[in-house]
Amino acid sequence: MKGVFVSCLVTVVSAVAVAEPNTLAVLGEVRLKGPMGERLDRMLRNHVVATDTEYITAPFLEKTERHGWWQTEFWGKYMHAAVPLWTYSGNEELKRKIDAGLATILASQEPSGYIGNYPDELRCGEGWDVWGMKYTMLGLMHYYDGTGDKKALDACAKVCDYLIGQLGPEGKRGYPLYKSGNWAGYASSSVLEPVVWLYKRTKEQRFLDFASFLVKGMTEAEDGPRLVDLALKGISVADRNGYGLQPDKNGGYVMKRNRSKAYEMMSCYQGLIEYYEVTGKEDLLKAAIATVDQIIRDEINLAGGSACSESWFHGAKKQHRPYVHLQETCVVTTWMRLAEKLLTVTGDPRYADELEKTFYNIYLASMNRDATEFAAYTPLNGYRYRGHHHCYMHTNCCNANGPRGFVAFLRAFFQANGTKAIMNFYASGKQQIKLPANGEKVIFETYTQYPKKGFVRMVNHTAKQIPFTLSVRIPAWCASASVRVNGKAVEQPPKPGTYCDITRTWTIGDVVEVNFDMTVRVHELDHYIAFTYGPILLARDTRFHDGPIDEVFRRGQVTAKNPPQFLLAVRSPSDDIWMTFSATVPMGSHHENPEGFNWPEIRFCDYASAGNLWEPANAYRTWFPVEYGLGE
């Protein structure tokens, strides 16, 4: 019997080609310096520590939510970043804020276990009550993870027991959980993630049973989210409405029966991957991978962002058009978490490529200069501005979610598997991790200006002289790269889109030097062109005062096959602009004129810096029109 079970297990695992998942570094053992370290410190100080936890927990004491709104998501989202960043920094003021918020949350818990702000008759139904409980559960477990304080875990278990009693198989409300809330059950069903977290931490069978009940609703109910069958049939995320549900046609923000909402859908896959981790049910992982791969192909733009009005829309091929409700920060951070999770589970560097692109472009673009705020929407062309107020509060979903994106970047930065230490990202700082195979701690000190420059220098600081493999990620965008150890090139030339494995007995002071080819690439789309430098999307910005940023490129002169030899890094005019490049390019509207014939010299900056004054006068553009000719 035992033999049959094992052989089945082997078949199951090899079918999806999943080896052991990567392990993560302890937060704080990957420390950033340079521009990213400063950015993180600024966000920590001005956003996370500065958050008024009394303000965001006050609604839990009120129970007056009659609009079906989402005031109860803000605290859990805050904790998603606050606790990991307290672990990262040890900031005592942050710990006091976290403790004050937790005290209010615990005081608000009813004997039934409920934590929320809906009156009893409106709970667990329409609106965002279950969604709020999801974030509350995540917040409580982050507290438990960070402090080991069991009262937070007990409170979380009581919330889950309340949910089981209301919306479980024998629930008092008389309908299954996926029937509550919005977006064909996506919003409520995404509570799967904390339910599995709770099972992982308590090993209580009733929580795994509840998770199985949720997964059934998410995958088997004809009118439910249908996250597996539609994915495995190859139905694109933008085309999953219908299929057993008459779609809503009202065009409003909240849809009861549509399946196009990006953030809520991805949150469900996050839970399904967690459930796969405890049950080994491979279809769930396959469906998540199929969906994410399709999102990468059809939805992700050059800034690593996606979705319009938070919905999938085949956005990759429309990214040059003037959509404004683009790349909502909640969608961005949820995408980063999902990419980080798949990278960890599968070890596939494509997910690191995606996470890196999103981080350096749309994620940093959505954060304002002093990191006090995140934008709600960030277009690819236009100007940046602050987001809305939500639910009669001076905050919104995106400000609450923003810091989580940085945590995803940190968690993916340096991972390990067996005797491999895996360097996924490059930034100055110190990286430490324990190898799971033998418990040895591996340490590197990195100096780089990446991605401003393609050179990275890593010095081994591992105390003991020990053998291990350092896996260095070679991004897929990179046409060529070189890797040298103590000045000597590695034997196998590094291949883009893979890891370059360096296996040796390491001595303190061993130096690894990596050079990435950062040659600018041209992207063409429907008579528009855009430029990327390494992972960075380039933009024109009105602060350079170098002509109209909407001016056309001359027909046929700059194409993907004929990229310009044009980019020179130059001094930035202000500290607000991270990267500046000078270029002499074939553009202009009056080239019949002898002076107009000459190419202008213009500037580009990184997309994250473009428009970061957050005012209409500071406009930017990433997709540039190409002149049409007669007969086109």
Residue numbers of the site for Zn ion (CB under 5 A)? Answer: 330, 397-398
- Separation CA 282–CA 265 (nearest Å): 19
* Pairing verdict, β 420-423 and 466-474: parallel
The angle at the Cα of 189, spanning 188 to 191, to the nearest 5 degrees, equals 80
| In the complex, least distance from residue 328 CB atom to Zn ion, rounded to whole angstroms | 5
Q: Which is nearer to Zn ion, 397 or 608 (CB)?
A: 397
Q: Which is nearer to Zn ion, 167 or 398 (CB)?
A: 398
Q: Which is nearer to Zn ion, 228 or 330 (CB)?
A: 330
- Separation CA 329–CA 465 (nearest Å): 44
Counting Cβ atoms within 10 Å, is residue 308 exposed (0-12), middle (13-18) or buried (19+)? buried
For residues 614 and 368, the answer to whether their CB atoms sit within 8 Å is yes
Q: Which is nearer to Zn ion, 215 or 397 (CB)?
A: 397
Closest CA to 554 of 594, 520, 523, 599: 599
| In the complex, least distance from residue 224 CB atom to Zn ion, rounded to whole angstroms | 24
For residues 619 and 562, the answer to whether their CB atoms sit within 8 Å is no
| In the complex, least distance from residue 70 CB atom to Zn ion, rounded to whole angstroms | 10
Closest CA to 414 of 368, 458, 361, 366: 458
Q: Which is nearer to Zn ion, 117 or 329 (CB)?
A: 329
- Separation CA 179–CA 218 (nearest Å): 10
| In the complex, least distance from residue 206 CB atom to Zn ion, rounded to whole angstroms | 33
- Separation CA 299–CA 306 (nearest Å): 6
| In the complex, least distance from residue 397 CB atom to Zn ion, rounded to whole angstroms | 3
- Separation CA 197–CA 26 (nearest Å): 18
Q: Which is nearer to Zn ion, 398 or 529 (CB)?
A: 398
Counting Cβ atoms within 10 Å, is residue 616 exposed (0-12), middle (13-18) or buried (19+)? exposed
Q: Which is nearer to Zn ion, 359 or 477 (CB)?
A: 359
Q: Which is nearer to Zn ion, 70 or 359 (CB)?
A: 70
Closest CA to 277 of 11, 21, 10, 23: 21
| In the complex, least distance from residue 456 CB atom to Zn ion, rounded to whole angstroms | 34
Structure tokens at 536: 């960075």
For residues 270 and 190, the answer to whether their CB atoms sit within 8 Å is yes
| In the complex, least distance from residue 159 CB atom to Zn ion, rounded to whole angstroms | 23
- Separation CA 409–CA 88 (nearest Å): 13
Handedness of CA 118, 122, 123, 124 (dihedral sign): negative
Q: Which is nearer to Zn ion, 70 or 383 (CB)?
A: 70
- Separation CA 125–CA 179 (nearest Å): 8
Strand partners for 499: 473
Q: Which is nearer to Zn ion, 132 or 588 (CB)?
A: 132
Strands lying side by side in the sheet with 414-417: 23-24, 414-417, 420-423, 466-474, 498-506
| In the complex, least distance from residue 459 CB atom to Zn ion, rounded to whole angstroms | 40
Q: Which is nearer to Zn ion, 330 or 478 (CB)?
A: 330
| In the complex, least distance from residue 220 CB atom to Zn ion, rounded to whole angstroms | 30
| In the complex, least distance from residue 27 CB atom to Zn ion, rounded to whole angstroms | 24
Task: Tell me how long the chain is.
Answer: 632
- Separation CA 368–CA 366 (nearest Å): 6
Q: Which is nearer to Zn ion, 377 or 468 (CB)?
A: 377
Q: Which is nearer to Zn ion, 346 or 396 (CB)?
A: 396
| In the complex, least distance from residue 307 CB atom to Zn ion, rounded to whole angstroms | 11
Number of helices (H), then strands (E), belonging to the chain: the values are: 17, 20
For residues 70 and 131, the answer to whether their CB atoms sit within 8 Å is yes
Cβ contacts of 258 within 8 Å, gap of 6 or more: 183, 184, 241, 245, 247, 248, 311
| In the complex, least distance from residue 376 CB atom to Zn ion, rounded to whole angstroms | 6
| In the complex, least distance from residue 401 CB atom to Zn ion, rounded to whole angstroms | 6
